[in-house]
Structure 1
């Protein structure tokens, strides 16, 4: 098992679907991944929130992993997202991703009944024991219904072999400060909240997990490069240029807004899966205007 921190942008693709709910549009998925590879990502993470992982059938999820491995092909590390209600389902997906050739997992617990910290810890412990792939633990209470505090995240990295990175997406910069302080700066953490990208990177985040490169190309990677070079004035100016798009795509829902933006830019990725609806009307025109100003 290789534990190598990833520095830079971890880019998240959408998952294109065929018409009439007939599965993944494989040709379109490859085009989306090829376009992301051209944005200078440090890694690509498939089947996350932007990839509508919660709406995929089991066979679709498995095929998505295979397509991701084929398309990314070692050009950058390929991370596979796993978010399941049951530990058994998460373990099965971890084993499948490893067999398929993924480089790393990003695991988020999902709840119907509220999970306590003992249950969360045991969930991650079981997934980590089932695979040799390194694991990024992902906290996103808004989508998962599970809120993992910094002390628990740090404890899991320290005590569960195989877990080595933290993605913090609660939108609270103080949690990233807490991760740094609790770990004495030894645990790499990643920002998953677009509006905090500048603050998080300046605070020591190793990277930014984002779907923004789908629409903004290599500009997110440039933001990281400015910060790495100590060019805070340039980083700040670029961030505020990107911020209106970053806010819009999150507030409007990543699958909906990113797929609409790709269509506006000439890369057809289909519509989001129902009950999500395509972007339309005034909101679509707002996105068209925002992208035209980039």
Structure 2
């Protein structure tokens, strides 16, 4: 079960589309997932931060998973983010995800509450052990205020054979070397911040849970492949074109920015759920200048 091949590649953290009435747009969600797979994605990762998972009810999450499992039709696995306010709900969601046909899970620390390793480790053990599905361990101390050290992650990897990968989103490129030091090849390393993709691959990562891919799927897959096969020298031109977009994945309003990219690229709507609001004023105009410039120069 170790080192599943679908971790190696571009795994879109797919956005959740909404109708004008604020409901999940399941028709577009299915079309969008198929387009991402057609572009070369190796898995679909819904219900994460970019998917506005915190705004979705338990039943809405399951409906999204049903739609995605049917849409990809076994071509790639659906690997939902498993996050909740309580450990109990997270475990229930993990088991429900398996029941509806998901091929893996991405385990997150609990929303809101952040504390010591004893409690956070217990939560992660419960989620990882809830099923036998392969699991990505998600470390994002910036967003979730819990920072799992490489040794703590290695401790869990020694306990759970189904823990297969780690999504590293601390923003510290040195973490990749530290993870390799204690884990060797035990876990597949995944880049979790868009503007670290070339550097992360150079440091031993093999997959990318990506955000901008929602709006620029072909370019994102090509950037990954160029950096994987030839390093910075091979990817430099495309990376420099991509970086103004990729940096939008690492700021507080990244959901609004990536959905605005989708709208401008003809791959979705910019609708978000409150408390998020559509970008406005100078902030919106500045973002549009970057996005429209990228669209005007893509492929050159």
TM over 0.5: yes
- Which aligned segments of 4 or more residues in structure 1 are displaced greater than 4 angstroms? none
Q: Secondary structure at the match of 2:44?
A: strand
Partner of 2:146: 146
Partner of 1:19: 20
Partner of 2:293: 289
CA distance in 2, matches of 1:230, 1:19: 44
CA distance in 2, matches of 1:197, 1:292: 23
CA distance in 1, matches of 2:252, 2:295: 15
Gaps of 5+ in 1: none
Q: Secondary structure at the match of 2:220?
A: helix
- Cα shift readout 1:191-244 (whole Å, capped 9, x = no counterpart): 101111111001110111111211222222222322343354122222122111
CA distance in 1, matches of 2:252, 2:296: 18
Give 1 or 2: higher strand fraction: 1
Q: Cα 1:228–1:197, aligned 2, differ >3 Å: closer, same or farther?
A: closer
Q: Secondary structure at the match of 1:236?
A: helix
CA distance in 1, matches of 2:3, 2:99: 18
Partner of 2:92: 92
Q: Are 1:7 and 2:11 matched, yes or no?
A: no
Whether contact under 8 Å (1:85, 1:109) holds in the other structure is no
Partner of 1:47: 47
- Cα shift readout 1:148-171 (whole Å, capped 9, x = no counterpart): 122111221122342121000111
CA distance in 1, matches of 2:251, 2:295: 16
Whether contact under 8 Å (1:150, 1:179) holds in the other structure is yes
Whether contact under 8 Å (2:41, 2:221) holds in the other structure is yes
CA-CA distance at 1:25 after TM superposition? 1.0
Q: Cα 1:92–1:32, aligned 2, differ >3 Å: closer, same or farther?
A: same
CA distance in 1, matches of 2:249, 2:279: 11
CA-CA distance at 1:86 after TM superposition? 1.2
Whether contact under 8 Å (2:112, 2:144) holds in the other structure is no
Q: How many positions carry a matched residue from both structures?
A: 293
Partner of 2:194: 194
Whether contact under 8 Å (2:164, 2:187) holds in the other structure is yes
Partner of 1:214: 214
CA distance in 1, matches of 2:280, 2:71: 31
Whether contact under 8 Å (1:14, 1:32) holds in the other structure is no
CA-CA distance at 1:137 after TM superposition? 0.6
TM-score (norm 2): 0.91
Q: Cα 1:198–1:3, aligned 2, differ >3 Å: closer, same or farther?
A: closer
Q: Cα 1:89–1:211, aligned 2, differ >3 Å: closer, same or farther?
A: same
